Amino acid sequence: MSTESILQKASIKVNDHGGILVNDAVVIDGHEDFHERVVTHVHSDHTTRLSESIRRRQKIIGTPLTLEWLSVVAGFNDPSLFVPLNYDQSYRVGDVKVVFKRAVHIPGTAQVLVEYEDSTTVGYTSDFKKVGRGTDVLQPEILIIDAVYGHPSYVREFDDFIETVLADLINELLSKGPVHLYAYYGKVQEVMQVLRERGVIAPFVLSHKQYSLSKIAEKYGMRFGEYFHVNSREGMEVVRSGWYVYLTHSTSYSRLAGNDRVSHVTLSGWEFTKPYRKIGSNSYLVAFSDHSDFRGLVEYVGLSKPKLLIVNNARSSQGKVFADYVASKLNIKTVVL
């Protein structure tokens, strides 16, 4: 069957902001009028035009944690629109069933498996890392992937031990004074747990949104040890003590980086040469990513073995490069949408 025939049979399209339309019934991580919407996680490139979906009173399908986090990140909380779906549970939308599968990315992230009445299956990976080590490998007939790090040069040789490197660096910097750590929503909560598991015992102080997200995450089993709201009496006392890790959103770096008595650590997935490097007198960039690098993407597709791979080019500048590589090296039919 030709690529065009497969796409027409499954009725799959990708719109201009990366939303994946499946069988004229559901749109994943995007907006379309009169479609129920899946939100795989709360990062902004996956919640694009959410306000329009809400205004049209469309159902929002997500993991329970993701739906609660939307109330903090997007300022939206209307349980009448929420459809909470746990991993491995199914939800029927029109003629298809939607099933969530686990993905290691930020807390609450889900992969999406869509099952048609004729047994056709379509899977969307969303963002992921740690293939087969927390991230389930979907094996649908049609696999959709974003391929954020789709170029062969996007390889991080140190991914397997970067968590230990980060914890060691934080402990070293704490011996000199307080540390400010900058990361995106969800990654902060992941890192808090990673640091505790690897021996960082200093109290955490959080900005308002990060504190709210952490409180919700604890309801779903995450453990962070001692942490405080930055504006609470306890939080201000901890700050005065001079021994703490302050965690806030990446966009706060430029506003706070001028404090010379503090060490500043920014987490980024766009560093491939070293586990971390010094970028100023008291500032560091750590190559901590929530996405698989190029090798992880290839590994996933190789284990999945779909009949057709769709690369969602709205979220990757290297979609065609990745599709061509998969077609030639893995002998899998590919298309870029």
Domain segments of the chain: what residues?
3-153+292-336, 159-286
Distance CA 247, CA 230 (A): 10
pLDDT band at 205 (very low <50, low <70, confident <90, very high): very high
Closest CA to 111 of 70, 65, 62, 68: 62
The contacts of residue 76 (CB under 8 Å, 6+ apart) are 50, 51, 54, 70
Pair 301, 137: CB distance under 8 Å: no
Mean pLDDT of 103-109: 97
Query: What is the topology classification, in CATH, of domain 3-153+292-336?
Result: Metallo-beta-lactamase; Chain A (3.60.15)
Closest CA to 314 of 282, 336, 283: 336
Read off the pLDDT of residues 60-99 as tens digits, 9 standing for 90 and up. Answer: 999 999 999 999 998 888 889 999 999 999 999 989 999 9
pLDDT band at 6 (very low <50, low <70, confident <90, very high): confident
Distance CA 29, CA 22 (A): 11
Residue-level pLDDT at 4:
79
pLDDT band at 209 (very low <50, low <70, confident <90, very high): very high
Mean pLDDT of 293-297: 97
Share of the chain above pLDDT 70, in %: 98
Distance CA 87, CA 157 (A): 31
Alpha helices by DSSP H, the chain: 3-10, 50-55, 64-73, 162-174, 187-197, 208-219, 233-241, 253-256, 294-304, 319-329
Residue-level pLDDT at 27:
96
User: Could you tell me the maximum CA-CA distance found in the chain, to the nearest angstrom?
Assistant: 67
Instruction: Report the sign of the C-alpha dihedral through residues 36, 41, 45, 50, in that order.
Output: positive
Distance CA 243, CA 193 (A): 18
Query: What is the topology classification, in CATH, of domain 159-286?
Result: Rossmann fold (3.40.50)
Task: Compute the half-sphere exposure of residue 64: CA atoms within 13 Å on the CB side of its CA.
Answer: 9
